[in-house]
Amino acid sequence: MTATTIVYMGHCNLKQIAESGQCFRWKQLDEEGNKYKIIAGSRLLIIEQNAHGYFGLSCTPREFDDIWTDYFDYSGADYSQILAKAEAKGGLLKDAAAAGEGIRILRQDPWEMLITFLTAQNISIQRATTLIEKLCNKYGQKKHSGDTTFMAFPSPDSLATAKPEDLRQLGFGYRDKQIITAARIVASGAVDLDKLKRLDHDTAKLVLKNIYGVGDKVAECISLFGLGKYESYPIDTWVQKIEDYFGHGYIQKEFPDHAGIVQQYLFAYVRRHGLPERGGA
DNA sequence: GCCCAGGAATGTA
DNA sequence: TACATTCATGGG
């Protein structure tokens, strides 16, 4: 990689983030899961995790400061504090913190999150990754970074003019209309996703759910990964079991400002260890 | 062939 | 409010 910049990033584990289900355009480049090609919007970053929290990056120090520190969420939450609080609770929360240590909430483009989680509904993460790659190849713009060529995430304009039958042909199934109508709403300016960042969570969620195909879970994912709202709490089929275990609303009550981060730890736990033995908290 | 995959919209009671 | 059904498709 060219222009190697070495930086320290605490509480960051690339493999953990890559497997956390929030990013669909990370490609593992080595055997161990220490090196990835990341495409975010229309940017590319090669990143490699070395020992003791040091990382090699394919960008200049200035690009790291201007773009990637924000992407990796180094201007927001104090992860060590949240981890410590979860550990102190003991039981499953302690185990979840251990299972999820190193996960960070990536601050991604809300437009990209909208289309990504519309795509990912009711299919496996692996299949969603394949579909999104096809979408970028067909509707994205070709970009260059050094000697590497890559496809940027498609613009709203580009997807707004896509044909339903073409999306079907790619394998999107019934999501074709959802994606095209969402693209048209954003391309027309009827919904300004970036402005949602300045609204409170509940209001932003109402706007999102008003988009055809966006239900509770997808809205929470967009809010968490695209709007940077840590209080968002996506409840999927796995986390639903966790809710049954703790009692409904327990996590959000105990971590009102950071439920989404804890949700990521719990998700990491159930995917690795399966569901906990019995209920009660 | 059957079942599931980090769901959402619609209909029914 | 709480369930049930439908929607497409690929992979195990």
In the structure, how far is the CA atom of residue A124 from the C1' atom of nucleotide C10, in angstroms? 10
Is the Cβ atom of A124 within 7 Å of strand B at any atom?
A: yes
Nucleotide nearest to A124 (CA to C1'): B5
Is the Cβ atom of A225 within 7 Å of strand B at any atom?
A: no
Phi–psi pair at A5, nearest 5 degrees: -115, 135
Residue in A236, A228, A227, A226 with CA at minimum distance from that of residue A263: A236
pLDDT level of residue A276 (50, 70, 90 thresholds): confident
Report chain B positions within 7 A of protein CB atoms.
Answer: 5-9
Phi–psi pair at A32, nearest 5 degrees: -85, -15
Q: Hey, what are A32's tokens?
A: 């161990």
Each residue's pLDDT tens digit, A77-103: 999 999 999 999 999 999 999 999 999
In the structure, how far is the CA atom of residue A168 from the C1' atom of nucleotide C6, in angstroms? 18
In the structure, how far is the CA atom of residue A145 from the C1' atom of nucleotide B2, in angstroms? 46
pLDDT at A278: 57
Indicate the pTM of the whole model.
0.97
The dihedral through the CA atoms of A194, A195, A197, A201 has a sign that is negative
pLDDT of residue A280 exceeding 50: no
Among this protein's residues, is A217 annotated catalytic? yes
Count the Cβ atoms, other than its own, within 10 Å of residue A25.
21
Each residue's pLDDT tens digit, A166-220: 999 999 999 999 999 999 999 999 999 999 999 999 999 999 999 999 999 999 9
Is the Cβ atom of A185 within 7 Å of strand B at any atom?
A: no
Is the Cβ atom of A236 within 7 Å of strand B at any atom?
A: yes
pLDDT of residue A1 exceeding 60: no
Q: Is the distance from CB of A83 to CB of A93 less than 8 angstroms?
A: no
Residue A179 vs residues A58, A142, A191, A211: alpha-carbon distances, Å: 32, 21, 14, 10
Sheet of A43-49, strand order: A5-8, A54-57, A43-49, A35-40, A26-28
pLDDT at A68: 98
Q: Is the distance from CB of A151 to CB of A141 less than 8 angstroms?
A: yes
Each residue's pLDDT tens digit, A147-159: 999 999 999 999 9
In the structure, how far is the CA atom of residue A276 from the C1' atom of nucleotide C4, in angstroms? 28
Give the span between the Cα atoms of A207 and A193, in whole angstroms: 9
User: Which residue among the candidates A217, A229, A241, A253 is catalytic per the annotation?
Assistant: A217
Give the largest CA-CA distance in chain A: 55
